[in-house]
Structure 1
Amino acid sequence: MKQISLIAFLSICLFSTNIFAQKNKKFDIIAYYTGDSKLIDEYEVNKLNQIIFSFCHLKDGKLSVDSTKDSLTIKHLVSLKTKNPQLKIVLSLGGWGGCEPCSNAFSTADGRLKFAKSVKEVSDYFKVDGLDLDWEYPAIEGLPGHLFQPADKPNFTELIKILRSTLGKKYELSFAAGGFQKYLDESIDWKAVAPLVNRINIMSYDLVNGYSKVTGHHTPLYSTNPKEESTDRAVEFLLKAGVPAEKLVIGGAFYTRQWKNVENINNGLYQAGEHFQGADFKNYATTYTEANGWKYFYDEKAQAPYWYNEGTKTFATSDDIKSIKAKTEYVKSKKLGGIMFWELTLDSFRDGMVNAIYEVKTAK
C-alpha cells in the first residue's frame, strides 16, 4: 500500500512539474509599434508574439482611435494574424504624454465603467486581442503638469477590476509599469492587481531619463551599486511582492539617451551633463563610429553598453545586441513571461534587436 501511494505521489509530482515547466516555456516577444499600415510589413512579424499599437487616447472618457490612418493601421495589424497564428494585437492607451485626463477620468466608478465599456466596443469592432494601459503614472508625477493624486492607486485597482469583468477572460489585459523604485513602491497595489492581468510590462528603460543632469545606464540589467535602478532590481521587487514570474515582462530600449558637456572622467559614465536627443538602434552602426570620434564600452557588471566621444564630450547609453541577448537569457533563466521593447520602428528590418532576442529565445 505504501509503495502504491509512493508511486502515485511521485506520478503526481512529475505531472505537476511538467505542467509548471510547460507553463514557463511561454516566452513572448512583444513589440510596441508606432508605425503605419505599410511599414510593419518590412519587419519579421513571424518572430513576434504580440504587437501593441501605440497609442490610443481618451476622448470624453472613452478609448479613442485618433485618426483614419490609425484605424487602417490597426486593421492591417489584425490581418497579419492570418499568416501568424501566434500573433496577438493589443491596443495601448496613453504613453508618456498621452494620459493627461487619466487621473480625473478614472477617479469615479461611472468614469471607469464608461471607459471599460468603450474598450470592449473598440476591441470588438477591430477584433483586437486586448488592452495595454500606459498610464504614466498613477499617484506619482509623470509629465510635468499632468494631474496625479494619492487616490490614483486604489482607482487603478478598481479600473483593472472593471476592465477584467467587462472584457471577460478571453481578452488580454496588461499595463506598462515604471521600472523605478518610486513607481514600484507607490503607484500600484501589486497583490490586488497582479491576479487580474495577463502580464506586467516593466519599462526597465529610461531609468536615467531626460530630466537627469548626470549620466548613467538608462536600461541596465543589473545595478552596479545599491542606489542604482535596474531591470533585475525591479523584477526581484515584484517577485518578492508575490507577482508570478510568468506575468513579468522586462523591457528593452532600441534607442539611446545622450548627454553633452560630459567631462572625460570614467569614460563619461556617472558624470554631469546636459541631456539631448539620442539615436535609433537602426542608426547605431553609422552614428557611433570611431571615425565620428566614439569609443564603445561595455559594463560587464551592469550588462549594459555605453559610448563616449572625447572630442565632443558626448555620452550615450542604451541596449545593443549584446545587452539585449543578456536580457533574453535572463528572461529564460528566471522563467519570466517575455521581453518587450520600445519600439519596433527603431529596429533594423533584418538582423537587428528582434532577431537577437528571437535567436536566444529559440536556442536550446
Structure 2
Amino acid sequence: MTRLLVFLLAFALIASPGDAQPLAVIGYYAGRTTAIDSFPTEKLTHIIFSFCHLRGNELSVNNSNDTATIRRLVSLKEKSPRLKVILSLGGWGGCKTCPDVFSTDSGREAFASSARELSDYFHTDGIDLDWEYPALENVPGYSYTPQDKDNFTAVIRLLRRTLGRKAEISFAAGGFTTYLQTSIDWKQVAPLVNYINLMSYDLVNGYSTITGHHTGLYSTPQQVESVDHAVRWLDSAGVPLRKVVIGMAFYARIFQGADSVNNGLYRPGHFFRGVSYRDEAIRLSADSGFVYHWDSVAQAPYKYNAQQQLFASFDDTHSIRLKTEYALHKRLGGVMFWQLMDDSFFSGGLLDVIDNTKLSAGKGRKK
C-alpha cells in the first residue's frame, strides 16, 4: 500500500498543471542569408525557412541563395542546440500545383520522398505545409476542389510515415471560420502533426472591403474572426490545445479610403499596403498624422489618419504580451509569427516581448 501511495503521489506531481509543456516560440523567416544575424534567434524554439517550392512532384529549394540561408539557419544550432529548423512549402501563391500533386498516390509519394531527402541533406528537423488553402478559393486562377481536404490528410499521413516519429510536422492553418470548417479533417490530421500554426492574422486581408482588426485577440459584435474564436472552434472540434500555436503579426495592414466614423474602424475601404514593425514608428507616427487607438473588446490596437483616410491594423508590444499570456493561460502549444525579418534589428523588438512575457510567467509560477 505504501508503494502504491508513493506511486500515486509521484504521478500526481508529474501530471501537475505547473509542469505543462514549454511554450514553443516559432518564427517564420523569409529574409536574406546574413540578415538572420540581426535577430535574437536564441529566443526561438523553432525557425521555419520560407519557402521551398514544388518542382514537378518534388520539394525543391529555389536557388543557391536559399541553400545558403538554410545552411545558415542550421548553423544556429551550434549556439542553440535545442533550436528546430523546419523547411516550409508554399505560402500565399506558393502552392499553385499542390492540388494536382497531392491528388495522386505517385505525386504524394514523390513529394514525401523528396522531403525526406532534402531534410537529410540539410540536417533540418521537419516539414511545414503552408498550403493556402485546401478546398477553398484562394489566389485568383488557382485550382481547388473538395477533394483537397482528403488529399491533405493523405499527404500528412505519408509524411509522418516517411519522415518518421522524430521529425516535426506542422502546417499553417487559416485562422478564419470557413477554413476551419472546410479545409482540414481535424480528427485525422491533428494526431499526426506536432503543431498547428494558426494564421490568426490577415483576418482582414488584401481582398477585404471593410476595415477591421487583422489580428485581434477577441471577437467583437462587428467582427467574429479573432485569435480566441479560432482557438475555441478548434477546442470544440476536439483538437488538442497543446498542438495549437497562435499567430502574431510582425507587420501592419493599412487600408485606404476609410472615413472618420469610429476612427476608420469597420468602415468601407481597400487595402493599401503593409508595413514592417521595425518601420511603424516612422511610417505610422503621430508626425505623419496617425492617432493611436486601443479596442478594449478586441484587445487590439489600431491607428487612424483622418487627413489621408488611412486605417492601420497591427500587433504592438501590448497586444503581443496579451497574446503570449493568453497562450500560456490556455496551455496552448505556443505562439508563432510572420515573420522575423519584419522585427526590429538586434533588440527592442516584438520577439523580445514574447520572451520577456514567458520569463515573467515562469518567475510567477516559481513563487
Normalising by the smaller structure, the TM-score range is: over 0.9
Aligned with 2:357: secondary structure?
A: helix
Aligned with 1:279: secondary structure?
A: strand
Alignment of 1:174-253 (within 5 A): 174-225=170-221, 227-253=223-249
How many correspondences in the alignment? Answer: 360
The Cα of 1:226 is off from its aligned counterpart by: 7.3
Amino acid at match of 1:17: A
CA distance in 1, matches of 2:3, 2:48: 49
- The aligned residue for residue 267 of structure 1 is 263
2:46 is the alignment partner of 1:50:
yes
2:68 is the alignment partner of 1:72:
yes
The Cα of 1:262 is off from its aligned counterpart by: 1.0
Q: Which moved more, 1:52-61 or 1:285-294?
A: 285-294
CA contact (8 A) 2:31 2:341 kept: yes
- The aligned residue for residue 115 of structure 2 is 119
2:149 is the alignment partner of 1:149:
no
CA distance in 1, matches of 2:280, 2:33: 25
Aligned with 2:254: secondary structure?
A: strand
CA contact (8 A) 2:276 2:343 kept: yes
- The aligned residue for residue 351 of structure 1 is 348
* Residues 289-320 of structure 1 deviation map (CA, whole Å, 9 limit, x = unaligned): 22111100011111110000011111000111
| 5+ long unaligned stretches in structure 1 | none
* Residues 108-130 of structure 1 deviation map (CA, whole Å, 9 limit, x = unaligned): 11111110000000000000001
Q: Which residue of 129, 134, 139 corresponds with 2:130?
A: 134
Alignment of 1:86-125 (within 5 A): 86-125=82-121
- The aligned residue for residue 61 of structure 1 is 57
- The aligned residue for residue 308 of structure 1 is 304
CA contact (8 A) 2:96 2:142 kept: yes
Amino acid at match of 1:68: S
- Moved beyond 6 Å, runs of 4+: none
* Residues 37-75 of structure 1 deviation map (CA, whole Å, 9 limit, x = unaligned): 200011101111111000000001100000000001101
The Cα of 1:9 is off from its aligned counterpart by: 7.4
CA contact (8 A) 2:212 2:223 kept: no
The Cα of 1:243 is off from its aligned counterpart by: 1.3
Amino acid at match of 1:292: S
The Cα of 1:232 is off from its aligned counterpart by: 0.5
The Cα of 1:148 is off from its aligned counterpart by: 0.6
2:272 is the alignment partner of 1:276:
yes
CA distance in 2, matches of 1:340, 1:258: 22
| 5+ long unaligned stretches in structure 2 | none
The Cα of 1:286 is off from its aligned counterpart by: 1.1
- The aligned residue for residue 37 of structure 1 is 33
Q: Which residue of 152, 155, 167 corresponds with 1:159?
A: 155
CA distance in 2, matches of 1:333, 1:289: 33
Q: Which residue of 338, 359, 362 corresponds with 2:359?
A: 362
CA distance in 2, matches of 1:75, 1:13: 42
TM-score scaled by structure 1?
A: 0.96
RMSD of aligned alpha carbons = 1.4
CA distance in 2, matches of 1:151, 1:21: 42
CA distance in 2, matches of 1:58, 1:283: 33
- Give identity over the alignment, percent: 52
Aligned with 1:165: secondary structure?
A: helix
2:17 is the alignment partner of 1:7:
no
Q: Which moved more, 1:238-247 or 1:110-119?
A: 238-247
Aligned with 1:224: secondary structure?
A: coil
CA distance in 1, matches of 2:54, 2:70: 17
* Residues 140-162 of structure 1 deviation map (CA, whole Å, 9 limit, x = unaligned): 11111111100000111111100
